[in-house]
Amino acid sequence: MAMKRAAATAIRAFAASSEISGSSLLTRDLHASAGSKKIVGVFYKANKYAALNPNFLGCAENALGIRDWLESQGHQYVVTDDKEGPDCELEKHIPDLHVLITTPFHPAYVTAERIKKAKNLQLLLTAGIGSDHIDLQAAAAAGLTVAEVTGSNTVSVAEDELMRILILVRNFLPGYHQVIKGEWDVASIAYRAYDLEGKTVGTIGAGRIGKLLLQRLKPFNCNLLYHDRLKMDPDMENQTGAKFEEDLDAMLPKCDIVVMNMPLTEKTRGMFDKERIAKMKRGVLIVNNARGALMDTQAVVDACSSGHVAGYSGDVWYPQPAPKDHPWRYMPNQAMTPHISGTTIDGQIRYAAGTRDMLDRYFKGEDFPAQNYIVKEGEIASQYR
């Protein structure tokens, strides 16, 4: 703790004598000053689907359902899906916005360069979970508050992970594709279809999503392992029957199925490279709903092509949206989707409500729930360090 306090003091001391683009570091108010605010939301376009469900709140057209509320209070609310390149719509609003809301499903990458341009920016909100699309070091140095709606879509993602495990274990997709093509060849599916019962499943990360996944896997009578910075409390270990593995590289060869549940940081970026994937047993199945950049893209392609990885499924890519020539689209034995796991209608209702609550607290100068902060007063949350 003493070291953390000393580091925070050093940052503030540095900030007092430093400037970014003419503005002193760590001098921006953490909460709203009086007057109208310009709030920009970046969400994916739903087009014809926007009107098909009144609770489809996470799209650009429905904009979290907060437009009337914001505008009734005199605030300006600009919403766009155009977020890339120097001439995009978002870039036009960077210099004078106060709040930027974005999602992990259609992330607006908030770089140090954009932060320097955003002279009025005070608050960066993630509608959902995962703020790695933001340069957190730059945000902390600039005195910005970064927050997300912690817990809003943990159930959604954990359920999706369980689905993907079953899809891979049962070799479901080739059978589905046979039906579409009018074919019937049971042998071509059955030769690599298995039961989940008795398999060893390891989750890398046992936070909110990892714990929920382990709870859902227990009835399948799997052998459950987990690797994390911290051990779960004994009650949760007993409830799930999961065994703690301190050494990741020792856990990997034991697993029939590996699930990624850790955040993307500079330490975890690209950590699953050719060498680490080679430590997994041949025929391993990998599920990754965490972040695409955890993986070395080409290493995954090569491992799927050689059969060392028997199946890879997830909904996270880098960058997002994934370009048409992204090699994961075309590698064998994949069950990839666009980033959908956390944006169920139920999840959208939760993260829309959470975003509104934090905006209301921001306008009133009140603190957010402690677990929602990713950057506060120059300090980055431990999971992102």
What contacts 24+ positions apart, CB below 8 Å, involve 266-274? 268/294, 269/293, 269/294, 270/294, 270/295, 270/296, 272/296, 272/299, 272/300, 273/299, 274/299, 274/302, 274/303
Residue 315, annotated as binding a ligand: yes
Catalytic residue (choose from 75, 339, 348, 372): 339
Parallel/antiparallel/unpaired status of strands 379-380 and 223-227 = unpaired
Q: Cα 28 from chain centroid?
A: 27
Residue 17, annotated as binding a ligand: no
Catalytic residue (choose from 62, 153, 334, 348): 153
In sequence order, the β-bridge partners of residue 80 are 42
Residue 265, annotated as binding a ligand: yes
Distance in angstroms (rounded) separating the CA atoms of residues 273 and 75: 46
Dihedral sign, CA of 274, 276, 279, 284?
negative
Residue 291 annotated as catalytic: yes
Residue 55, annotated as binding a ligand: no
Residue 227, annotated as binding a ligand: no
Residue 257, annotated as binding a ligand: no
Residue 339 annotated as catalytic: yes
Residue 371 annotated as catalytic: no
Is there a cis peptide before residue 321, judged by omega within 30 degrees of 0?
Answer: yes
Residue 153, annotated as binding a ligand: yes
Parallel/antiparallel/unpaired status of strands 123-126 and 99-102 = parallel
Parallel/antiparallel/unpaired status of strands 19-20 and 145-148 = unpaired
Residue 361 annotated as catalytic: no
Residue 282, annotated as binding a ligand: no
Helix 154-169 and helix 208-217: axis angle, to 10°? Answer: 50
Catalytic residue (choose from 320, 333, 334, 348): 320
* DSSP helix/strand/coil, 223: strand
* CB-based contact 233:239 (threshold 8 Å): no
Residue 306, annotated as binding a ligand: no
Residue 341, annotated as binding a ligand: yes
Question: H/E element holding 110?
Answer: none
Residue 264, annotated as binding a ligand: yes
Residue 129, annotated as binding a ligand: yes
Residue 228, annotated as binding a ligand: yes
Residue 339, annotated as binding a ligand: yes
Phi, psi dihedrals of residue 227, rounded to the nearest 5°: -120, 130
Catalytic residue (choose from 164, 291, 326, 350): 291
**Which residues carry a binding-site annotation for NAD(+)?**
154, 208-209, 228, 263-267, 289, 315, 339-342
**Which residues carry a binding-site annotation?**
129, 153-154, 208-209, 228, 263-267, 289, 315, 339-342
**Which residues carry a binding-site annotation for substrate?**
129, 153
Catalytic residue positions, numbered: 153, 291, 320, 339
